[in-house]
Structure 1
Amino acid sequence: MKVVFIKTPTGAAENAILEGIYQLRARIFQDRLNWRVSVIGGRERDRYDDLDPNYIVVLGNADDVIGAARLLPAQGPTMLEETFPYLLQRGHLEAHPRMVESSRFCVDTRTRTTMNGLLHEATLSLFAGIIEWSMSAGYNEIVTATDLKLERLLRRVGWPMQRLGEPRLIDQVESVAGVLPADDASFRNVKPPGYQPITAFSPMPARSQKCR
């Protein structure tokens, strides 16, 4: 398992990762959670994917997509302010240059075991990757919308969220908006054993074949 980031795909391998992200989102948000999302050809994507976001991705041994999150500058168009403004106390996001939005967070929890009886290894790795990338890009706060169950788990692993409004029901899920710190203490709290520093995605080298 490794954590990577990609932005604008530049080759077939990166495009394959992006397709894997969209397919995972369709399986999680439509098939498992039954959210009202747009899925075409087994791919879930929306207009925020057209804004040149960064994607933090957890990959398996064969570069299969296990988890992903989308990051966009909070001062630009964001899902929280434009799609879910009712989660914000004042109806708008008070963003600043060092704030980034995380959205479309999803993990295929069928592929790995849980750790400490709390969170999936890939989930912790994705948390750590989001924090690490955010700090390296100059951000110190991460704004997001999540459900109350994940909010409680974030608190348990030492990454508590400061709410930006009261919980609201979205697609039968109690959801809440909040701000998370992007700092060294949070990174140390969430990163699982064996976590390797996040890198830009580099495709696996092709295996050499020997003639017989």
Structure 2
Amino acid sequence: MHVIPVSHLDYSEFPDLIASMHRLRYRVFRGRLNWDVSVSGDMEIDPYDALKPTYIIAADDRGTVVGCARLLPTMGPTMLANTFSVLLGSNPAPRSDSIFESSRFCVDTDAAEGVAATGLRNATFTLLAGILEWGLSNGQAAVVTVTDVRFERILRRAGWPLERFAPPMQIGNTKALAGHLAISQAALMKVREIGQLEGPVLAGRFVQPEAA
């Protein structure tokens, strides 16, 4: 499995990979989870994709995209601050050069081979490790995310528990919540240990995303 950080400077080098990522997001968020997301044909694309995010993309040896995540700096617009601020409770939206937002994390459970002892896909651990490695390489202290209680349980089983901003809320058909996770070497080692990952997973060059 290859895990590639694709910054906006790299978009022109990976058009097929990015298109496959958007198709995976459509299959997961619209097809499997039935979330109310923006779509274009067979792709899930929303306004935050226009803000020059960095994508963390996992592909198998055949080049098939099996997982992805989208990373944005919190100094610019984010899903948490601008769309789902209600999930912050009484907390202010994080705004820091050392905090980024992760969104649209998903794994193709049909294509991703290998299941760890925890019952989670190996691709899930690989993507989580990739986000941690990217954060450490870019001097980040924490990551915030908007997710659901299902993924909160996945993070706990993976050894990287989420700290909630506020209790979950029902949004559409989703029990949604927001929280933050520390970016640390200890967290990376824990994910690697539970997922039985050997060494770094992230390939390519590391580029800090820019705020729009």
Q: Same fold (TM over 0.5)?
A: yes
The CA RMSD measured in Å over matched residues stands at: 1.7
Matching of residues 1-212 of structure 1 within 5 Å: 1-8=1-8, 10=10, 14-90=14-90, 92-111=92-111, 112-191=113-192, 192=195, 193-194=197-198, 196-200=200-204
Instruction: Find the structure with the greater CA-based Rg.
Output: 1
Give the letter aligned to residue 102 of structure 1.
S
SS in 1 for 2:8: coil
Contact 2:118 2:157 in 1 (8 A): no
Inter-partner Cα distance in structure 1 for 2:19 and 2:12: 10
Q: Does the CA contact (< 8 Å) of 2:57 and 2:69 recur in 1? A: yes
Cα deviation digits, residues 136-162 of structure 1 (max 9, x gap): 111110000111122123223321111
Q: Identify if the C-alpha distance between structure 1 residues 62 and 149 changes in structure 2 by more than 3 Å, giving closer, same or farther.
A: same
How big is the shift at 1:9? 5.9
Q: Which runs of 5+ in 1 are unaligned?
A: 202-212
Cα distance in 1 for residues equivalent to 2:53 and 2:168: 27
Which structure is higher in RCO with an 8 Å CA cutoff and minimum separation 6?
2
> Tell me, what secondary structure is at the counterpart of 1:115?
coil
Q: 1:58 to 1:10 in 2, by over 3 A?
A: closer
TM-score (norm: length of structure 2): 0.88
Query: Quick check: 2:156–2:162 contact (8 Å CA) kept in 1?
Result: yes
SS at match of 2:66: strand
Number of residue pairs the alignment of both structures matches:
201
Alignment check: 8 A CA contact 2:126 2:201 kept: no
> Matched residue of 2:167: which SS?
coil
